[in-house]
Amino acid sequence: MINSHRDFEIARDQGWYRIPCERAPSRVGADYLAFYQTKLFEEERWAVNYYAPIRRYRVLSRRTLLPHETEHPRASAPYYKIEIGALRRLPRGIPSWRLRRVTFIPTTLERLLTAEEINDLWCGTTDEEELWRAFKEGGVSAERRYPLREADEHYTVDFALFCQNGRVAVCIGSEAIVENVRIIREYPLIDDYEAAALGWTIVRLDRLGVAEPPGACLQRILQAAENLGGVAGTPAEG
């Protein structure tokens, strides 16, 4: 994410981007880096418009990276300096329709070059991808891998639907590429009580097409959304 003109100029003219090590996501390794631009960028706002090949990572203090900001509270903290090649413009910008501030999405170059909107970038399980396709074909607005936070716990839901009178969280049962090998997820799936306390209605799905046909899954989700007044449109500028 780029939220200042200075950082954009650094990326474009000096060829680097920074991430504080302490707040780095679980995936920083990549061959390419693409930038989501926030509302500051006017015509290019709320979208991914540029990407660049990654040349080199370094671990440096913020003071070394930005020598004019030695008084910054994190001046001594280590940062990843990601050195990049020349910025390339995407064939078409990738908008975030809900204006969600996207920090990090690990994806593939192929997806980056073909995505129509930001949620297309996520690489999900087969079930997740199938449901996302069904949402898109049905014109249902949803957000993928939506983060929830309750006290010190971080959760994600596979899909979030924002309705007129509430929110629907969709959680898909399968967790691993091999169904019966247990993988510990980075963020646990939220349980029903926590979700309800945060004002979410949970729809849990077993493996699509096995325990429950995809059409029936979609109907169940849409019914839950209907009970909350139907899926809302794109929000106003935030």
Contacts with another protein by CB under 8 A lie at 26-31, 53-60, 78, 80, 106, 108, 123, 176-178, 181-184, 186
User: How many angstroms separate the Cα of 79 from the Cα of each of 76, 86, 87, 103, 203?
Assistant: 9, 21, 21, 16, 39
What distances in angstroms separate CA 160 from CA 4, 42, 195, one per listed residue?
28, 27, 12
Instruction: Please state at what angle helix 126-137 crosses helix 214-227, rounded to 10 degrees.
Output: 60
- The smaller minimum CB distance to another protein, of residues 120 and 212, is found at 120
CB of 81 to another protein, least distance (A): 10
Pairing label, strands 200-205, 166-172: parallel
Query: Phi, psi (5° rounding) for residue 57?
Result: -110, 145
Supply the minimum distance, in Å, between the C-beta of residue 173 and another protein. Answer: 17
Q: Fill in the amino acid letter for 220.
A: R
Looking at the Cβ atoms of 28 and 77, the one nearer to another protein is 28
Compute the least distance from the CB of residue 46 to another protein, in Å: 25
CB of 106 to another protein, least distance (A): 6
The span from the CA of 125 to the CA of 207, in Å, is 10
Going by the DSSP 8-state scheme, the letter that residue 207 receives in this structure is S
Which residue number, 70 or 126, has a Cβ lying nearer to another protein?
Answer: 126
Q: Of 129, 145, 142, which Cα lies nearest the Cα of 209?
A: 129
Residue 143: CB minimum distance to another protein, A: 20
